[in-house]
Amino acid sequence: MKLLAWALSALVAVFGMTASTPEQPDAVVIFTGDIRGYLSPCGCSAPMVGGIERMVGVVRQLKQQPHSVYVDVGNWLEGYDRQEQLKAETLAETWRTLKPTYLNVSARDRLLGDGYLESMRGVVGGAIDSANEQSAALPGHSYITAGKVSITGVTSPEADALAETVPGARVVLISGSLESAKRAARIGGPGLYIYSLQGDPAAEPIVEDGATFVTVGDHCRFVGRIELRDGKWTGFKLFELGPEYESDSQAVEAYRGYLRRVTAENLLAQVPKAKGGPSFVGSEACRSCHVKEFETWEKSLHAEAYRTLQITGNDRDPECVGCHVVGLNHESGFTPVQETPSMASVGCESCHGAGSKHLADPYSAYKSEGEKACLTCHNPGHSPKFSFAEYWEKIKH
Ligand code: HEC
Ligand code: HEC
Ligand code: HEC
Ligand code: HEC
């Protein structure tokens, strides 16, 4: 029965159905965090999970419930180069359509610079802040209230702001670990503490001394939701962003725009290239002498790897292309597709290494590194089910 009620409330929440709920909660907190630059689904292995397109879709549905607030814990990006700046602008663009109540700025987000934070502030509906900085300049204004909750963002638990008396139930956003959230709770007292985590989130909240601790983990794979009823935090649910969730059309447009800009600015051409050593020659050059091996390879998914990126639209995205082509990081390797078709996709030399020396002298040593070669691409983040024995069986030659 209890399970049924849970499932029902999830349905109501996600699809905005107006089934008769006995009474409305006092507040619903919807939260994300630690996106860390993962705007597209990750895993590289079906079913791929996450991405801002689904994330926005789920948040938008959940927000239809009365008394809901949407907050983000921070840690938006992984680095600060041009591509990350484009991501920051894309996140701002998608958040503009969601109107978050509070975006917490983590210490690393602040490295983006004032210009970017200012532009975020310009497009976001609610507050974008961090109590640490504000409490010095504007004592007493380090939280905002939204209905029956007050929301504070902190980057370190020592923030004096937490000791202040705030109206309503306390929601604290911490771009730090569970341990720092617990330290914050020792100052702040009872409330909801949403913390930052690199890894998979716990399925249940942690409750200690009247404080409730929750997280969504990293890489934009989950959206979290919890509600306040009679002073208690309850009804916690994590939505894992699998393919069953529809993409939000505005977020799809924003992500497409991002890829268009990555292409237009030709970031792929700016990937550093090594010089020297044997050169890449392309798979086609191996065909005449290794007819059988070539046939096997041609039928494998490796030969489709670049087309896969063309389908998703990431074929000019430096974050993807390296593992889906031959020799991106060498001057003789892949350059955008028209010029080097026989290096588009994972080819012979992706595993055997650059082939110019072997071509000049087929009897000189030219060994595959076996499993070690696979692991440069089939790493846990991009091929979670990889096992050499099983995978080799599918492509052996
Ligand atoms: C001109 C013909 C020719 C071309 C072109 C050629 N190979 Fe070979 N390859 C050979 C011959 C002959 C051998 C066998 C050498 C031996 O038995 O030691 C060989 C052996 C190999 C081996 C096994 C090496 C070993 O030590 O066991 C690999 C791997 C290989 N080739 C890969 C490639 C790849 C990849 C390409 C394209 C970049 C390629 N070959 C192009 C003729 C060629
Ligand atoms: C340069 C990067 C790279 C290397 C090195 C690499 N792979 Fe792959 N592999 C890929 C990519 C990318 C795909 C996905 C291709 C697609 O679906 O478009 C893939 C797909 C596969 C698949 C198909 C998976 C399926 O479900 O059918 C197998 C099997 C596989 N790789 C085995 C191997 C093995 C074994 C090695 C080492 C001997 C290896 N790969 C080395 C990038 C790589
Ligand atoms: C570290 C190397 C690496 C990077 C970086 C990488 N991929 Fe992959 N990708 C792989 C491998 C390996 C596979 C095959 C995984 C498997 O079958 O186990 C794959 C498979 C895929 C697939 C096929 C999934 C399926 O099963 O249908 C897609 C789509 C894909 N990648 C898209 C991307 C996109 C988009 C990016 C950039 C955001 C990206 N990849 C970055 C290594 C990589
Ligand atoms: C996904 C990685 C991968 C790709 C792509 C790949 N190979 Fe291999 N290849 C291997 C591995 C691993 C071995 C086995 C090495 C061993 O047994 O030590 C091998 C073995 C070979 C051998 C030696 C076979 C023997 O029996 O001695 C030749 C020749 C060869 N590959 C040629 C090619 C050619 C040509 C292509 C492209 C058409 C190609 N390979 C594509 C990984 C790859």
Site to probe by mutation for ligand 1, drawn from 279, 290, 295, 397 as the one with most ligand atoms within 8 Å of Cβ, is 290
Ligand 1 shell residues, CB under 6 Å: 281, 285-286, 288-290, 348-349, 352, 355, 358-359, 362-363, 365-368
Q: What's the whole-number mean pLDDT along residues 67-71?
A: 94
- Ligand 4 touching residue 302 (CB < 6 A): yes
- The predicted structure's pLDDT at residue 138: 32
Centroid of ligand 2 to alpha carbon of 216 (angstroms): 30
Q: Residue 15: which of 253, 239, 252, 255 has the closest Cα?
A: 239
Q: What's the whole-number mean pLDDT along residues 208-234?
A: 96
* pLDDT band at 232; cut points 50, 70, 90: very high
Site to probe by mutation for ligand 3, drawn from 256, 316, 382, 393 as the one with most ligand atoms within 8 Å of Cβ, is 382
Any idea which ligand is nearest the CA of 397? Answer: 4
- Ligand 2 touching residue 324 (CB < 6 A): yes
Q: pLDDT of 261-294, one tens digit each? A: 999 999 999 999 999 999 999 999 999 999 999 9
Contacts of residue 169, Cβ cutoff 8 Å, sequence gap at least 6:
26, 27, 148, 149, 150, 191, 192, 228, 231
Residue entry with tokens 């509600």: 227
The dihedral built from the CA positions of residue 23, 25, 30 and 31, taken in this order, carries a sign that is negative
Q: Which residue's alpha carbon is nearest to atom 38 within ligand 3?
A: 320
Centroid of ligand 3 to alpha carbon of 146 (angstroms): 41
Q: pLDDT of 183-200, one tens digit each? A: 888 888 899 999 999 999
Centroid of ligand 3 to alpha carbon of 381 (angstroms): 9
Q: pLDDT of 165-185, one tens digit each? A: 566 788 999 989 999 899 888
CA 302 to ligand 2: nearest atom: 15
Check: CB of residue 78 under 8 Å from CB of residue 42: no
